[in-house]
Amino acid sequence: MLHQTDTFRGIYPPTSYGTDQIPADKVTHLLYAFTDIVNGEVVSNSPSADFGEGVSASSAGTATGLVGKINKLKKQYRKMKVILSIGGWNYSQVKEKFPESSATEERRQRFVKSAINLMQQCGFDGIDVDWEYPQTSTEAQNFVLLLKGLREGLDAYARENAPGYHFALTVASPAGPDKYTVMDLKGMDRYLDAWHLMAYDYAGGFDPTSTGHQANLYKDPANPSSTKFNTDDAVKYYISQNIAPSKIVLGMPLYGRAFLSTAGMGKPFSGVGDGTVEQGVWNYNALPKPGAVVQFDRAIGAAWSYDAAKRELISFDTVESAVFKTNEYMKPKGLGGAMFWEASGDGTGDKSIVGAVAAQMGKLDATENLLVYPKSTFSNIRGA
């Protein structure tokens, strides 16, 4: 991610994408996604990938997996902070994860204790909660209490083990009104350092009615079926809830969503086809596909490609649209920076969206990461 003090944020999933490919010189925060929640405790979803074959989160010795490699990056790039991201879409769909783990004070404390323990074991600089999404007012209030517990727990850990250091607490936040109006944004905000606004997934195969833009800034009054959601309405609502613009981090997708057998944007379609991520989802670095023509509409801040011969449309951000969002929206509104999902989808060289946005940001957040975690059982994380 890029934090607009300027800040830039990025997200790194445990895939075949290597740590040597992370643009560590261009990001201020790296979200390590995702951890699971099992029996109310935050746990690694793949100990062998995170810590090395035969090594668990509680082992002594050396962390040789992705966690160990990322800590090497932290030592090399002192301005890159790493945030432990909990949950995500798939884990959020299981009631036993967030709803039940946050339902009582005892359960919340169990969640908090395990989350902070895993964070310090990994040698990370904060916690991100990706609960998609609270469904009721009760769940919304429990989310506030969970964040309160995390904030208090992080501060207590810092006082004892890292005096003067501030561990970040952030959330992945929705851009759909059916989601954000359920949440107690004001109550949450007092405990948060940043809101990672997921300003994407506005359209896709999950909505069978028509093709649409998946990450547009504004609605299109001339073609309303193509912009059923938009970023600007979400940002305005968050600000109306007394959330400082500087705490809102604008999410941008590093992937595109496809529609087959369609005459164009806002039109009927049939199927989504294959993809590089899943059916109908293509990494940005695989786009545009041969034969497709890329278009960009400045009036709504959205890009897409269309192959008239194949009748295939793909909605995705380009370098042009990402730079436009940065210079014509994010910076004028004083937003806190940019966030990308996810790092392995980016292009290289002059086709890198992350690099292009970073170049427009000016001065990035220069606060240093933490290298000393005295209670970690891993010798290569315990101390610098």
- Write the CB contacts of 72 (distance below 8 Å, at least 6 apart in sequence): 19
Torsion of Cα atoms, 118 then 103 then 11 then 371, to 10°: -30
> Nearest to residue 131, comparing CAs of 154, 120, 118, 147?
147
Query: 7 forms bridges with which residues in the sheet?
Result: 3, 337
Distance of CA 48 to the CA centre of its chain: 23
Active site residue 132: yes
At residue 303, the 3 state secondary structure works out as strand
3-state class of 117 per DSSP?
A: helix
Per the CB < 8 A criterion, the answer to whether 344 and 33 are in contact is no
**Bridging pattern class, strands 337-341 and 2-3:** antiparallel
Those residues whose C-beta lies under 8 Å from the C-beta of residue 374, and which sit 6 or more positions away, are: 161, 382, 383
Of the candidates 41, 132, 160, 342, the residue annotated as catalytic is 132
Helices 105-122 and 137-161: crossing angle, nearest 10°? 40
| Cα–Cα distance, 384 to 379 (Å, whole number) | 9
Pairing, β 29-38 against β 81-87: parallel
Q: Which residues are catalytic?
A: 132
